[in-house]
Chains A and B, each alone.
Chain A
Amino acid sequence: MRIKAKAKDGVVSVKAGLKHEMLSYDQAKKKGKEANFIVYIEAKVDGKPVYEASTSQFLSKNPFIKFKFKGEAGKELELSWIDLKGNTKSKKAKIK
């Protein structure tokens, strides 16, 4: 997972690249695999949510997301996701 978080004038802009195959039901069928994709992405600062997305099989492979929220530099942003099979991953990044 790659996260870039930059603050300017009280607004934090985040760009994040998540690593996931995002196999849709159709794609999985063709490959003889089980469908699996990220279903929920959340970002928090100081334990409070700043971004919340419920997602589907139609996000591209290795999803790339951009979002903004009110915040300051120096704090830590924690981004996490969960997929259809229940795997989770989370990563912290300092807001610059």
Chain B
Amino acid sequence: MQRRKFLGLGFGVAALSLAPISAVAKNYRKELPNAWKIKNKEAENDLTGTNEAIKAVFGNDKTEDGQIKLKAPDIAENGAVVPVSFKLEKASKVALFQSANPEALVAVWDIPEAGIPDYGVRIKMAKTGTITVVAEVDGKLYRASKVVKVTAGGCGG
């Protein structure tokens, strides 16, 4: 517990010191060029790629359950258009991953001061896989995931 408290404090300080920068646009394509290249393993629900990508985006992959309400279909008839949405009370940063495509990372959101993390997006999934949303809330990482069964692939063109 002591250690956790200490870590939490560290994150808080880091977040504070970053605050002036986050007022300016943060493009994670430029900030984390390598995070987008992390490959998924071939096996359908192997989350190795997802976990590596979480580490690349958030610095570690120690996540807890809770906070995030994730919505995605159980079965997607069209893998080219899979609606995914998530909702949180608050968060500073949220990222979306999946295990179905060649690479794991789909998107990273920085939540601005006026932002309310109640977001939706449509993604492509080449096959059945696990969708994972990770959010940073007060220096802690939360995770929610869901398996989406894809009956027709989305990356075939």
Question: Which residues of A are in contact with B by a Cβ distance under 8 Å?
Answer: 11, 22, 24-27, 30-31, 39-40, 42, 45, 48-61, 63-71
Contact = CB atoms under 8 A, between A and B. Distances in A.
Interface stretch (B26-34, B60-68, B143-151): B26-34
Nearest to A51: B115
A27 B126 CA distance: 11
Contacts, number: 116
A11 B107 contact: no
Given A24-B124, A30-B157, A64-B122, A56 B105 contact: yes
B155 A39 contact: no
Chain B interface: which size bin?
35 or more
A45 B79 CA distance: 34
16 contacts: A30-B157, A40-B25, A51-B109, A52-B112, A53-B107, A54-B107, A55-B107, A56-B103, A57-B103, A58-B124, A59-B123, A61-B80, A63-B121, A63-B122, A64-B120, A66-B120
A60 B124 contact: yes
B110 interface: yes
B109 A52 contact: yes
Interface of B: 23, 25-29, 36, 80-82, 85, 98, 101-103, 105-116, 118-126, 154-157
Contacts of A49: 23, 25, 112, 114-115
Given A11-B116, A52-B110, A64-B122, A26 B27 contact: no
